[in-house]
Amino acid sequence: MNDGLVRLVSQRFDAFASRYLEAPGDGFAYTLKVEHTRRVLDIAETIAREEELPERLVPACRLAALLHDVGRFPQYKQYHTFRDADSANHAALSVTYTLREKLLANVPAEIRRLVLGAVYLHNKRILPELSSPDLRTVAQLLRDSDKLDIYRVLIAHFSQPEQLHPEVALHVLNEPDKFSEPVLQALLARSYGDYRHIVYINDFKLMVIGWLYDLNFRSSCRLLKERGYLDELFDSLPQHERFDLLRRQITQELAQRLKDA
Ligand SMILES: [Fe+2]
């Protein structure tokens, strides 16, 4: 049931995405999202398995991963950007297009409800209080899986000598020695970075370093450590004693989370 359902929705997602991939010109942007989706699905399955999630929640986690960025395709087609602030909320678009394209047809109502809820919530800066513990779990798992793959995408992007596709990092300024004080302050105070303060490439790196505070599962922290994303990000920042301070703080936080859970 579980595998058959995911395979069916996966085929529908492929058919949906292929309509965009076939259009001339913007193949790079759409391919990026198809590959991201595949990896997020893979990560979601790993976390669900390691956390021994109740069987009833696993299909919802897998389907939410598959559909979370469906809205990116119409977003890029219409606006030529992935910046929600300059276009539309892509999570809301994902819900709209999932319904419009009947991507969840024949999926049991309870699973559908969890999937649509988690997809809608995946890009909120902070997950709101939710009365349904099941929805909270699926939404948390999707958010962690998405972040873990975005680390990968961004690190690959930052390591290119010339950033050919600035939309990946939301068009931040590539000034290698600059950073914005409020972003660093927020992280040292153990709070999340705020997209509104992001100006420079280093702000962006700092903000994603701070995502550690928002990870919900021990398995997510394990993957983060194993993949070495934080080290890569810190190594790519300019020399600054306050970055060293932050690095010690973040390293301790990660060790604590791996010990505690
Ligand atoms: Fe997204």
Summarize pLDDT for 100-134 with one digit per residue, the tens.
999 999 999 999 999 999 999 999 989 999 999 99
pLDDT of residue 261: 55
- Asked whether the beta carbons of 39 and 152 are under 8 A apart, the reply is yes
- Written as six digits, the tokens of 34 are 């198809």
User: In terms of Cα–Cα distance, which of 48, 34, 41, 8 is closest to 119?
Assistant: 41
CA dihedral 12→16→13→85, nearest 10 degrees, is -150
| Under 8 Å between Cβ of 54 and 64 | no
Average pLDDT over residues 37-49: 98
- Between the CA of 115 and the centroid of ligand 1 the distance, in Å, is 14
pLDDT value, residue 215? 96
Is residue 158 one of the residues assigned to a domain? no
How far, in Å, is the centroid of ligand 1 from the Cα of 68?
A: 6
> Using only C-alpha atoms, what is the Rg of the chain?
18
Regarding whether 179 and 65 lie in a shared domain, the answer is no
User: If you search the block for the tokens 């395979």, which residue do you land on?
Assistant: 7
From the list 217, 208, 260, 259, the residue with the least C-alpha distance to 61 is 217
If asked whether residues 140 and 179 sit together in one domain, one would say no
Give the range of the structural domain holding residue 89, as residue numbers without chain letter: 2-146
pTM of the entire predicted model = 0.91
- Tell me, in angstroms, the distance from the centre of ligand 1 to residue 120's CA: 9
Q: Same domain, yes or no, for 70 and 32?
A: yes
